[in-house]
């Protein structure tokens, strides 16, 4: 069970046919031509059958077809709105501190019943680097990385300054990610 | 004017400014070339177009906040940089041997996956710039599949931010071993096709062989590391010289070249892809079960239930996040084998939650330095394969 | 020396009509079908070779027609783009260069037969615009004019990269023209003519196709033709990773489009020459020219039968051309490019001696056979 | 104390200002004026044979040390033959940030020294091309010094338009 050093075979010897280029051109054409014909047939088949799975090409027709994201995917950070309609966030400011590019700004306030909530919660989408450290820092599971990756770019940076209303999403929509955090990130695999 | 034919023909030297926005320089480097006809008389390299103040940023934040920034060093193989940084911090904290075995194996797998992705990209890009676009896209397809694997583990393709001090961000997803097997089966086909398209192709051979060569002694003097050093015939690989992670427990070959030209670099990288597959397969077979984080409340992030239910956990969680993980005073240099060469983190701690200094030894900084030396006397067209096989990653070189 | 029989002397009006129709046909084939469509073919073919989809988003009323409409959008884009001339450029020459580049590839087609001779209502129709008895020489002469376009473009742009590109064009074209001429000498010796219609008629028998009589000449000619066409693996003058775009780095808009078109038209010409010289021209294997006319005449009557045969022959010719274009594209997308000195070495040290050897061997065989 | 430190101390005597071993990394701090001879010895001696200069950087200890020892220039050496590593440091004063260039010992030091000049403003005497490398020529200050504010703005440069 040790690593060994091994010389690579540098002295690639070429046969006469390979040396006069013809053989190589033929071989190259056969390989690429095989791809060409295979993809041609499969594309036509998918046009006829209308089934995108028939297309042997890995490209996705993006806006019409969506990629299948893994559950670990980190998209736009979102705030969780609890079932009772209130923010889960208690404005403790941990995400604000944990954020490496410092894109989160929170102003906390107190509800009449004594619970804390964020009066304003601003996340600068132009600065966010989607690292997911806010999600890990949050003790309340109030900010999570949603699988949402669309509409993140704007022509104006001002439009990318998301406020609380733009960030709040009902809990059931983020259930997949919340489950993932509990199961894969902080379950028995993590004491 | 020592060259005789220059005297005879009274030729004029031509000054060319190649880059920073030139198709072959990827927008991050500038070559200042003096040409005699098509022959390079003198070449100067200018870097720094992608400087992002990595060290200053790291010094500004806590220890664990540096992870997203390490992603952006060599963005083709981000998990490797995460691992290198984590290893350095763990060593500085003196808890290197307390990291769970499962974590060690997962880290090894991620390192090798990213090495594969990096080599796929690099070899593909090299052939792209030599004009063989089709071979490039076959390897890009292979790389995409590899990145899909990385994405399914880390949650992002490039900016993985996967490793934590003393552990990992998350465990491997279910059915990972099966997915790896599937992807490897597909990638082997691409590897074979790429190999058939290029390795014995005389046009490609003529472009790669004996171009951009550097002698063994020069390579050492220029502090080459990684595939470029091994291509020059030097048997040095951090994985072998000072085994870290699980590299001591797996069986693999380290390809070594002979003359240090571009063709040797190409062959070494091609073989390393194969060997990385071997390492990953062995790691998956040996994969132990168990926790993925170190059992130390002062280091790891507790689970959310724990934070809510346990006062001590909550205090540690807040302290770790706000003040940062406390690292004792000291300094450490940890070398790891990145896909380009030795990625070493030199960390200085003055105690407390922030790094006093976080220096990364960028492998391609040293490699790019030798570009002028390697290209002198060769043709203008030889810059392209040489520069590609050096594999300059702007993010790593300029930091 | 010159044979003036192609001049429309005996029955003037039908001959002029015939001539005009042929010119319109070839021109519309080249400019109307091949120049725009080859862009699409190239995109789609390269995409399918590389496991991609290729351009497919341009649409009119929701119809994308497999990305065909991208040719329209390309045309609109190129027409409306700013025509940029760099500071310090030689303006007249900068304007002139694309025309010099595109015209030769158009007019070279004049001597290539795309069908045989047919009797229609007593008038003999010869499907070639100008049946010169020095046919191939004319093609060489005109094709070498295109070099000037590239060289002038590079020189007039006042850009070091363009300059390097045009230097490379000059050297590469010069060396490969010599070799190209010599590779075809074997063909001329075998068929005993430079006239492309004569060569075409001589290939009526499937086993008399140029590919069987001159296999070495064929391979050498393909190499030279690719080099003349300046496409990968011989695209040193415009190698995008070395010289950005070589001699047309500083061109934009319609002038850029003309270089683009010249490249595609050259490819059509090369494919047509290949077909005419080595692949039996308009002939269908194992069916003689007169045999098809007779068969069609039996079915549709003499005149309409001749028209039917004509259509079939023309279709066969263009089919062969399209197949060859696709093969040329396969080569272009499969191989990496040479280095400049290696191209020169290949031209002078391999292709040229082999071409000479080919002439020698052909001569010996001809001597022995006769 | 590690083996390499012992060897260094025995050979170099009082040139070694201090030495320590931490986490298996051996470190020697040597006098600035003897830098070149010591490094050359480290490179050529058979027991040392440090043919690789893996890394060259500097650390700013502003506020934690005397100003005459503010900067440390750090050399990370590696020996291929003996497979060992050594960290060599030399102290550079705040008011006189000058030290010897080691380009004559290892060619690789060229860019690394330029980077240290760029980031810390330490001048390497005898360097063939002491220019900024990662930053542009018009940059004001040396950003990795601890007294360089992370929020500092740089003046705009470039043509007037």
pLDDT digits (tens, 9 = 90+) for C226-272: 888 887 788 877 777 777 777 888 888 888 888 888 888 888 888 88
Which of B357, B358, B361 would you mutate first to test chain D, the one with the most D CBs within 10 A?
B357
Tell me which chain D residue has its CA closest to the CA of residue B55. D144
Contact B141 C341 (CB under 8 A): no
Nearest residue of D to residue B88, measured between CA atoms: D23
Cα angle: B76, vertex B78, B79; to 5 degrees? 135
Note whether A25 contacts C52, CB cutoff 8 Å: no
Measured between beta carbons, which residues in chain A are less than 8 angstroms from residue B247? 3
Dist. CA A10–CA D150, nearest whole Å: 50
Length in residues, chain A: 191
Q: CA C280, CA C293: separation in Å to the nearest integer?
A: 17
Is residue A74 within 8 Å of A145, Cβ to Cβ? yes
The distance of D29 to chain B (nearest Cα, Å) reads 14
**pLDDT of the residue at A185:** 62
Q: How far does the CA of residue C111 sit from the closest CA of chain B (Å)? A: 34
C52 at interface of B, judged by CB pairs closer than 8 A: yes
Q: Per mean pLDDT, which range of B343-352, C5-14, C33-42 is the poorest? A: C5-14
Would you call B156 an interface residue with chain C, using a CB distance cutoff of 8 Å?
A: no
Are the CB atoms for D78 and B236 separated by under 8 Å? no
What's the pLDDT score for residue C6? 54
Query: For C232, which of B131, B204, B383 is closest by C-beta distance?
Result: B131
Average pLDDT over residues A65-82: 85
**What whole-number distance in Å separates Cα of residue C228 and Cα of residue C147?**
9
Q: Are strands C117-120 and B357-361 parallel, antiparallel or unpaired?
A: unpaired
Determine the Cα–Cα distance for residues C91 and A36; give it in Å rounded to an integer: 44
Residues near B202 by Cβ (< 8 Å), separated by ≥ 6?
A14, A18, A19, A21, A24
3-state secondary structure of A77: strand
pLDDT at residue B257 greater than cutoff 60: yes
Q: For C305-326, how does the pLDDT look when each residue is reduced to its tens digit (9 = 90+)?
A: 888 888 888 888 888 888 888 8
Residues in chain D: 161
Question: A99-152: per-residue pLDDT in tens?
Answer: 888 888 888 888 888 888 888 888 888 888 888 888 888 888 888 888 888 878
Q: Which two tokens stand for residue B389?
A: 């096989």
- pLDDT of C302 > 80? The answer is no
Contact B346 D74 (CB under 8 A): yes
- Helix, strand or coil for residue D138? coil
pLDDT at residue C308, rounded to an integer: 82
Question: Going by beta carbons, is chain C in contact with chain B, meaning 3 or more pairs sit under 8 Å apart?
Answer: yes
Locate the chain B residue with the closest alpha carbon to C340. B381
Q: Which of B14, B129, B206 sits opposite C339 (nearest CB)?
A: B206
Q: How confident is the model at residue B6 (pLDDT cuts 50, 70, 90)?
A: low
Chain A neighbors (3+ CB pairs < 8 Å): B, C
Q: What is the pLDDT of residue B313?
A: 78
What is the arithmetic mean of pLDDT over A49-58? 77
Return the residue matching tokens 């009772």: A84
Please return the burial class of B77, using the count of CB atoms within 10 Å of its CB with bins 0-12, 13-18 and 19+: buried
Contacts of C51 in chain B (CB under 8 A): 137-138, 141
Which one of D58, D112, D134 makes the best mutation probe of the B interface by having the most chain B beta carbons within 10 Å?
A: D134
On the question of pLDDT at B64 being above 70, the answer is yes
Contacting residues of C for B22, CB less than 8 Å apart? 244
> How confident is the model over B273-321, as pLDDT tens digits?
988 998 898 888 888 888 888 877 777 777 777 777 778 778 888 888 8
Task: State the complex-level ipTM.
Answer: 0.85
What contacts A165, CB < 8 A, 6 or more positions away? none
Rounded CA gap, D15 and D34, in Å?
A: 7
CB B57, CB B63: distance < 8 Å: no
| Helical residues (DSSP H) of chain C, grouped into ranges | 12-27, 35-49, 70-80, 91-107, 135-156, 160-191, 196-202, 210-213, 215-229, 240-243, 253-278, 289-300, 302-334, 340-345, 352-369
Q: Which residue of C has its CA nearest to B26?
A: C241
Which of C171-185, C345-359, D1-15 shows the lowest per-residue confidence on average (mean pLDDT)?
Answer: D1-15
Whether residue C36 is predicted with pLDDT greater than 80 in this model: the reply is no
Of B141, B197, B384, the CB nearest to C242: B384
Domain boundaries, chain C: 87-369
Instruction: Give the separation between CA C21 and CA B187, rounded to whole angstroms.
Output: 55
CA atoms of B182 and B200, how far apart (whole Å): 28
DSSP C30: I
Q: What is the 3-state secondary structure (H, E, C) of C175-187?
A: HHHHHHHHHHHHH
pLDDT at C33: 79
B171 to A58: CB separation less than 8 angstroms, yes or no: no
Instruction: Report CA-CA distances (Å) from C269 to B78, C226, C321.
Output: 50, 12, 9
Put simply, whether D123 touches B (Cβ < 8 Å) is: no
Look up tokens 């820092």; give the residue: A137
What are residue A161's phi and psi, to 5 degrees? -85, 95
Classify each residue of C36-71 as buried b or exposed e, where b means 16 or more C-beta atoms within 10 Å of its C-beta. Answer: bebbbbbbbbbbbbbbbbbbbebeeeeeeebbbbbb
CB-nearest partner of B307 from A28, A32, A139: A139
Q: Give how far C52 is from chain A: nearest CA, Å.
A: 6
C185-200 burial code (b ≥16 CB/10 A, e <16): bbbbbbbebbbbbbbb
Kindly list the distances between the CA atom of residue B284 and the CA atoms of A187, B82, B150, C204, in Å, as whole numbers in the listed order.
Answer: 21, 20, 15, 66
Does A171 reach chain B within 8 Å, measured CB to CB?
A: no
pLDDT tens by residue, C106-123: 888 888 888 777 777 777
Q: Which residues of chain B are within 8 Å of residue A9 when distances are taken between CB atoms?
A: 267
DSSP conformation letters of C65-116: GGGTTHHHHHHHHHHHS-----TT--HHHHHHHHHHHHHHHHHGGGG--SS-
Q: What is the pLDDT, as a whole number, of residue A190?
A: 54
Contact call for residues C133 and C217 (beta carbons, < 8 A):
no
Chain B contact set for C339 (CB, 8 A): 206-207, 379, 381-382
Candidate from D111, D143, D148 with C-beta closest to B369: D111
Token pair of B21, please? 């926005």
D65–chain B Cβ distance below 8 A for any pair: no
Chains touching D by CB (3 or more pairs below 8 Å): B
DSSP for B356-392 reads SEEEEE-HHHHHHHTHHHHHTTSBGGGHHHHHHHHT-
Partner-chain contact B201 C241, CB within 8 Å: no
Inter-chain CB proximity C241 and B130 less than 8 Å: yes
**Chain C CB within 8 Å of residue B21 CB:** no
Burial class (CB in 10 A: 0-12, 13-18, 19+), C338: buried
What is the C-alpha to C-alpha distance for residues B123 and B142, in angstroms, rounded to an integer?
12
Q: How far is B364 from chain C (nearest CA, A)?
A: 21
Contact between chains at B159 and A137 (C-beta distance less than 8 A) = no
Q: What is the pLDDT of residue C20?
A: 82
DSSP conformation letters of C259-284:
HHHHHHHHHHHHHHHHHHHHS-TTPP
B205–chain C Cβ distance below 8 A for any pair: no
Task: Tell me the shortest Cα–Cα distance from C41 to chain B, in angstroms.
Answer: 16
Q: Indicate the pairing of strand B252-256 with strand A3-7.
A: parallel
Instruction: Decide: helix, strand or coil at residue D80.
Output: coil
Give strand ranges (E) for B162-215. Answer: 163-164, 167-168
Structure tokens at C302: 């003499």
> Cα(C295)–Cα(C303) distance, rounded to whole angstroms?
12
> Under an 8 A CB cutoff, do C242 and B38 touch?
no
Please give the Cα distance from B363 to C111 (Å, whole number). 60
Chain B residues whose CB is inside 8 A of the A22 CB are none
Question: What is the structure's pLDDT at B4?
Answer: 55
A5-9, B393-397, C23-27, D50-54: least confident range: A5-9
Q: How many CB atoms lie within 10 A of CB B278?
A: 14
Element (H, E) at A17: helix A16-19
Q: Is C52 on the interface with A (CB under 8 A)?
A: yes
Closest Cα in chain A, distance from residue B349 (Å): 19
Give the span between the Cα atoms of B191 and B277, in whole angstroms. Answer: 12
Mean pLDDT of D106-127: 88
- Give which of C231, C334, C354 to mutate to test A binding, by max A Cβ within 10 Å: C334
**Lowest mean pLDDT segment, chosen from B344-358, C143-157, C196-210, D43-57:** C196-210
Per the CB < 8 Å rule, is A2 touching B248?
A: yes
Gap from A47 CA to chain C (nearest CA, Å): 10
Residue A57 tokens, joined: 């090409």
Which pLDDT score, from 0 to 100, does residue B1 have? 44
How far are the Cα atoms of C39, C54, C74, C83, C143 from residue C77, in angstroms, in the given order? 14, 18, 5, 12, 29
- Ranges A82-91, B226-235, B272-281, D101-110: which has the least confidence: A82-91
pLDDT tens digit string along C117-157?
777 777 777 778 877 788 888 888 888 888 888 888 888 88
What phi and psi values does residue D130 have, to the nearest 5 degrees? Answer: -80, 80
Which pLDDT score is estimated for C1? 47
Q: What is the C-alpha to C-alpha distance for residues B390 and B372, in angstroms, rounded to an integer?
A: 12
C-alpha A34, offset from chain centre: 34
Quote the pLDDT of residue B10. 62
Structure tokens at B101: 């075995």
* Residue pairs between chains A and C whose CB atoms are closer than 8 Å: 46
Assign B242 a pLDDT band (cuts: 50, 70, 90). confident
Q: Give whole-number Cα distances, D119 to B106, B347, C356, D91, in Å.
A: 36, 17, 65, 16
Is the pLDDT at C362 greater than 80? The verdict is: yes
CA B319 from centroid of its chain's CA atoms: 33
CB under 8 Å to B295, separation ≥6 — which residues?
Answer: A191, B98
Q: B169 and A185: CB-CB below 8 Å?
A: yes
Secondary structure percentages of chain D, helix, strand, coil, to 5: 25, 30, 45
Residue of C nearest to B211 (CA): C339
CA distance B71 to chain A (A): 10
- Which residues of chain C are within 8 Å of residue A54 when distances are taken between CB atoms? none
Mutate to test the interface with B, among C52, C166, C170, C242 (most CBs of B within 10 A): C242
Residue B256's DSSP bridge partners are A7
With contacts defined as CB-CB under 8 Å, which chain B residues touch A3? Answer: 237, 239-240, 243, 247, 250-254
Q: Closest by alpha carbon to A167, among A146, A138, A141, A137?
A: A146
The enclosing H or E element of A24 equals helix A22-49
């Amino acid at each position: 069970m040790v690593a060994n050093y091994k010389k690579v075979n540098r002295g690639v010897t070429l046969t006469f046919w390979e040396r006069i280029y013809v053989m190589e051109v033929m071989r190259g054409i056969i390989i690429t031509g095989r791809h060409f014909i295979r993809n041609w047939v499969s594309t036509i088949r998918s046009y006829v059958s209308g089934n995108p799975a028939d297309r042997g090409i890995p490209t996705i027709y993006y806006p019409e077809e969506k990629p299948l994201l893994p559950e670990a995917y980190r998209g736009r950070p979102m705030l969780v709105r609890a079932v009772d309609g209130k923010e889960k966030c208690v404005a403790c400011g941990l995400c604000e501190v944990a954020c490496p590019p410092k894109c989160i700004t929170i102003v906390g306030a107190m509800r009449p019943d004594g619970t804390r909530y964020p009066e304003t919660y601003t996340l600068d989408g132009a600065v966010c680097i989607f690292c997911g450290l806010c999600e890990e820092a949050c003790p309340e599971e109030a900010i999570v990385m949603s699988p949402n990756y669309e509409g993140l770019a704007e022509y104006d940076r001002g439009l990318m300054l998301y406020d609380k209303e733009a960030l709040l999403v009902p809990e059931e929509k983020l259930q997949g990610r919340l489950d993932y955090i509990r199961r894969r990130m902080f379950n028995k695999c993590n004491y | 004017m020592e060259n005789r034919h220059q005297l005879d023909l009274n030729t004029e030297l031509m000054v060319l400014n190649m880059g920073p926005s030139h198709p072959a320089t990827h927008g991050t480097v500038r070559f200042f070339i003096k040409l005699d006809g098509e022959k390079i008389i003198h070449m100067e390299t200018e870097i720094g177009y992608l400087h992002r103040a990595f060290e200053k940023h790291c010094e500004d934040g806590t220890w664990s906040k540096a992870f997203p920034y390490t992603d952006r060093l060599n963005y083709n193989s981000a998990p490797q940089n995460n691992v290198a940084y984590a290893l350095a911090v763990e060593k500085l904290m003196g808890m290197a041997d307390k990291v769970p075995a499962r974590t060690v194996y997962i880290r090894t797998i991620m390192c090798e996956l990213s090495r594969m992705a990096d080599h796929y990209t690099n070899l593909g890009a090299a052939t792209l710039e030599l004009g063989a676009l089709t071979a490039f896209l076959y390897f890009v397809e292979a790389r995409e599949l590899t990145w899909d694997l990385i994405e399914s583990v880390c949650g992002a393709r490039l900016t993985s931010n996967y490793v934590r001090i003393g552990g990992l961000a998350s465990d491997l997803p279910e059915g990972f071993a099966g997915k790896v097997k599937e992807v490897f089966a597909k990638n082997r086909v691409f590897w074979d096709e790429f190999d058939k398209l290029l390795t014995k192709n005389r046009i490609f051979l003529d472009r790669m062989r004996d171009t951009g060569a550097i002698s063994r002694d020069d390579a050492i003097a220029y502090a080459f590391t990684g595939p470029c050093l091994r291509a020059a015939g030097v048997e040095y690989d951090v994985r072998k010289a000072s085994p870290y992670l699980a590299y001591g427990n797996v069986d693999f070959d380290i390809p070594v070249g002979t003359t240090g030209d571009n063709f040797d670099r190409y062959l070494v990288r091609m073989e390393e892809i194969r060997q990385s597959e071997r390492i990953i397969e062995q790691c998956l077979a040996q994969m132990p079960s168990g926790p993925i984080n170190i059992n130390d409340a002062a280091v790891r992030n507790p689970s959310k239930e724990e934070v809510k239910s346990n006062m001590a956990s909550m205090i540690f969680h807040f302290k770790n996040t706000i003040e940062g993980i406390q690292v004792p005073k000291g300094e450490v240099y940890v070398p790891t084998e990145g896909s380009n060469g030795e990625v070493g983190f030199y960390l200085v701690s003055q105690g407390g939650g922030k790094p006093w200094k976080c220096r990364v030894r960028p492998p391609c900084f040293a490699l790019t330095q030798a570009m002028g030396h390697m290209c002198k006397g060769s043709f203008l067209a030889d810059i392209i394969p040489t520069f590609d096989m050096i594999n300059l990653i702007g993010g790593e070189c300029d930091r | 020396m010159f044979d003036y029989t192609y001049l429309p002397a005996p029955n003037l009006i039908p001959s002029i009509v015939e001539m005009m129709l042929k010119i319109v046909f070839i021109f519309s084939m080249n400019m109307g079908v091949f120049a725009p469509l080859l862009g699409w073919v190239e995109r789609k073919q390269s995409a399918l070779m590389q496991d991609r989809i290729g351009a497919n988003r341009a649409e009119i009323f929701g119809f994308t027609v497999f990305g065909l409409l991208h040719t329209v959008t390309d045309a609109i884009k190129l027409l409306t783009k700013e025509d940029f001339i760099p500071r310090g450029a030689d303006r007249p020459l900068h304007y002139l260069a694309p025309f010099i580049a595109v015209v030769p590839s158009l007019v070279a087609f004049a001597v290539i037969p795309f069908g045989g001779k047919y009797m229609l209502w007593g008038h003999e129709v010869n499907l070639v615009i100008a049946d010169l008895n020095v046919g191939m020489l004319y093609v060489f002469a005109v094709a070498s004019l295109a070099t000037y376009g590239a060289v002038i473009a590079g020189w007039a742009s006042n850009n070091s990269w363009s300059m390097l590109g045009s230097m490379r064009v000059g050297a590469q074209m010069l060396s490969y023209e010599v070799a190209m001429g010599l590779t075809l000498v074997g063909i001329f010796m075998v068929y005993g003519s430079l006239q492309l219609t004569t060569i075409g008629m001589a290939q009526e028998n499937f086993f008399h196709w140029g590919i069987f009589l001159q296999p070495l000449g064929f391979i050498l000619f393909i190499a030279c033709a690719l080099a003349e066409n300046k496409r990968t693996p011989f695209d040193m003058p415009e190698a995008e990773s070395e010289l950005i775009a070589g001699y047309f780095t500083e061109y934009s808009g319609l002038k850029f489009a003309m270089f683009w078109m010249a490249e595609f038209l050259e490819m059509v010409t090369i494919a047509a020459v290949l077909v005419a010289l080595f692949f039996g021209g308009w002939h269908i294997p194992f069916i003689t020219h007169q045999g098809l006319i007779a068969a069609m005449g039996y079915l549709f009557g003499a005149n309409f039968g001749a028209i039917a045969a004509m259509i079939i022959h023309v279709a066969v010719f263009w089919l062969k051309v399209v197949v060859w274009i696709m093969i040329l594209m396969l080569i272009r997308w499969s191989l990496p490019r040479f280095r400049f000195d290696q191209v020169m070495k290949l031209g002078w040290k391999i292709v040229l001696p082999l071409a000479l050897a080919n002439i020698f061997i052909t001569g010996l065989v001809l001597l022995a056979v006769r | 104390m590690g083996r390499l430190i012992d060897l260094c101390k025995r050979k170099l005597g009082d040139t070694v200002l201090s030495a320590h071993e931490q986490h298996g990394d051996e470190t020697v701090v040597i006098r600035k004026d003897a830098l070149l001879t010591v490094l050359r010895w480290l490179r050529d001696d058979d027991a040392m044979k440090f043919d690789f200069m893996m890394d060259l950087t500097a650390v700013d200890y502003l506020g934690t040390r005397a100003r005459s020892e503010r900067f440390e220039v750090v050399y990370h050496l590696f020996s291929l033959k003996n497979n060992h590593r050594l960290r060599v440091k030399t102290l550079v004063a705040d008011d006189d940030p000058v030290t010897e260039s080691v380009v004559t010992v290892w060619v690789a030091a060229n860019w690394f020294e330029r980077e240290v000049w760029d980031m810390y403003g330490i001048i390497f005497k005898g360097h063939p091309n002491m220019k900024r490398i990662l930053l542009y020529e018009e940059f004001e200050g040396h950003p990795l010094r601890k007294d360089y504010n992370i929020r500092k703005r740089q003046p705009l440069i470039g043509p007037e338009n």
